[in-house]
Amino acid sequence: MDSCCENKGEELAALRGKQSQVLKIVMIINVAMFIVEFSTGWIANSSALLADSLDMFGDALVYAFSLYVLHKSGRWRASAALSKGIIIGLLGVTVLIETVNKIFVDVLPEAEKMGAIGLLALVANLSCLLLLMRHRSDDLNMRSTWICSRNDIISNVGVIFAAFLVYMTGTKWPDVVIGFIIAVLFLNSARPILLESYKMLKQQKKV
């Protein structure tokens, strides 16, 4: 019995070590891409690119939360997942406000910069998704982290598509529409994470 428990403890420690390594890598990637995307989005007047950069920033915070609670109790991990859901929801609201503001500002986004940075972000997030793929079923902490990364891929494809349509139509509206879609994606993704983490916290309190 003692040997069995020791083996399980060693396996869990090894799993947490692998999770920690992956989370550190994807956090660094997201911080770097946030800086690149936000600065380019601001220069290029792109709502979609700014929205995607905020998503990168939110994900960097999510990965930091995940790292912090990695070796803590189930209650801590559930609290981290709840925090992630709140962050994703707030990002959705922020992107929505930014996109609505762009409707009343007659500035054409720079499609070439949007497309180039959107493609770079897609490559970065595909790398993160592949790194997180094997850990997505480990627990709620890692699953919510994987969901964030999956959302990034959808956002990146949206930015690239918006850049193409802005270039073809010569109008700002594709950028505005994609900004709205990204905002809705954030808000929709936040809901199940918030519900599941809340249920887990209630269960932990009963223990």
Q: Which domains does the chain have, with CATH numbers?
A: 2-206 (1.20.1510.10)
Predicted confidence pLDDT, tens digits, the chain (207 residues): 444 434 334 444 455 667 778 888 888 998 998 899 888 888 888 877 887 787 788 778 777 877 776 666 666 767 767 777 787 788 788 888 888 888 887 778 888 888 898 899 899 888 888 888 877 666 666 776 777 777 778 878 888 998 999 899 988 898 888 888 888 877 887 777 777 777 776 776 665
pLDDT, residue 6, reads 41
Q: What angle do CA 76, 79, 83 make, to 5 degrees?
A: 140
Yes or no: say if 146 and 136 are a contact pair by the CB < 8 Å rule.
Answer: yes
Q: Which residue has the tokens 């992630």?
A: 84
Handedness of CA 180, 185, 188, 194 (dihedral sign): negative
Phi-psi map region of 46: left, alpha, beta (phi>0 left; psi -120 to 50 alpha): beta
The number of C-alpha atoms within 13 Å of 52 and in the hemisphere containing its C-beta is 38
pTM above 0.75, yes or no: no
Q: What separation in angstroms does the CA of 128 have from each of 46, 58, 86, 117?
A: 24, 14, 22, 16
Give every CB contact of residue 131 below 8 A, 6+ residues apart in sequence. Answer: 22, 25, 26
pLDDT, residue 4, reads 42
pLDDT, residue 8, reads 34
